Amino acid sequence: MLNQTEALDRTFHALSDPTRRGMVKRLSRGPASVGELAKPLDMSLPAVLQHLEVLVACGLVRTEKIGRVRTCRIAPAAMKTAEQWITERRATWERRLDRLGEYLAEQHEGGKR
Amino acid sequence: MLNQTEALDRTFHALSDPTRRGMVKRLSRGPASVGELAKPLDMSLPAVLQHLEVLVACGLVRTEKIGRVRTCRIAPAAMKTAEQWITERRATWERRLDRLGEYLAEQHEGGKR
DNA sequence: GCGATAGTTAAGCAGATGCTTAACCAAACC
DNA sequence: GGTTTGGTTAAGCATCTGCTTAACTATCGC
């Protein structure tokens, strides 16, 4: 099992590359073979494989080989971890800004009287 | 102005490092000086500055120098861009899985009759 | 069996990252 | 005006990334 910090490291790192985001985008619409993933990309097949490995290593993608074809599909759980981290941060600062807003409003109220 | 792809590259990359996520986490709770950001971290001040630069470059953090202290605060907009990308992907695959679910349910219905 | 197809492994390389130390600058303090 | 405090710049270095090409393996279709 991957610890939380390392999981986030890997997931955000995986998403920081446009090629990998493209692959995730493609797979969001449905499963695809390695070849199908590679077709729109302007790079060698081994390069595509390496990107795929990164996506698999962080759990964003699962793959399964049947015959000579490897089929790739999205595994939503890893994405949820990343999403959740962002959501938590937002919750924290929004709460804080709300409090600040209330405070300023009160100040203003006070000034009007 | 940064184009969308490059903005996502930079933002996800910035978030892929635990030190930088720590800084963002700290700043979510409120503004801090460079020194305050550095205090809990086990690394030199220049290293902290370099992490801070990454966060500023992708727009996750704004800074302002008054006298000799530089105050840092988060700038929520960049985070929203990243969050939105994830949300869009999720929308796509959830729609797809829903359709798939309906299809399977229909199949099942059909089988029962 | 034999060639075409789909993917895999290995080695190597240019450039980016994440640190370090050393030297430096400017506001604040006394 | 000299010293501390808070931050900055520059240079250097080990490691990691994202590719490449070359060589290889395992099916599939005939």
Which residues fall inside 7 Å of strand C, measured at CB?
A: A 33-35, 38, 45-46, 49, 65, 68-70; B 13, 16-17, 19, 43-44, 46-47, 50-51, 54, 67-68
Mean of the per-residue pLDDT values for chain B? 89
CB atoms within 10 A of CB B20: 21
Sign of the dihedral through C-alpha A55, A59, A60, A62: positive
> What pLDDT does A113 receive?
47
CB atoms within 10 A of CB B97: 13
Let me know if domain A4-82 sits in CATH 3.40.605.10. no
Nucleotide nearest to A13 (CA to C1'): D17
Render pLDDT for B18-45 as a digit per residue (tens, 0 to 9).
999 999 999 999 999 999 999 999 999 9
Residue whose CA lies closest to nucleotide D28 C1': A68
How far apart CA B20 and CA A13 sit, in angstroms, is 13
Say whether pLDDT at B99 is over 80.
no
> What pLDDT does B96 receive?
85
- The whole-number average pLDDT for the span A5-32 is 95
Alpha carbon A44 to its chain's center: 24
How far apart CA B87 and CA A80 sit, in angstroms, is 10
Say whether pLDDT at A12 is over 80.
yes
- The whole-number average pLDDT for the span B48-59 is 96
- The whole-number average pLDDT for the span A4-31 is 95
Render pLDDT for A30-89 as a digit per residue (tens, 0 to 9).
999 999 999 999 999 999 999 999 999 999 999 999 999 999 999 988 999 999 999 999
How far apart CA B35 and CA B92 sit, in angstroms, is 43
According to CATH, the topology of domain B4-112 is Arc Repressor Mutant, subunit A (1.10.10)
Residue whose CA lies closest to nucleotide D20 C1': A44
C-alpha distance from A87 to closest chain B C-alpha (Å): 8
Contacts of B95 in chain A (CB under 8 A): none
3-state secondary structure chain B: CCCHHHHHHHHHHHHCCHHHHHHHHHHHCCCEEHHHHHCCCCCCHHHHHHHHHHHHHCCCEEEEEECCEEEEEECHHHHHHHHHHHHHHHHHHHHHHHHHHHHHHHHHHHHHC
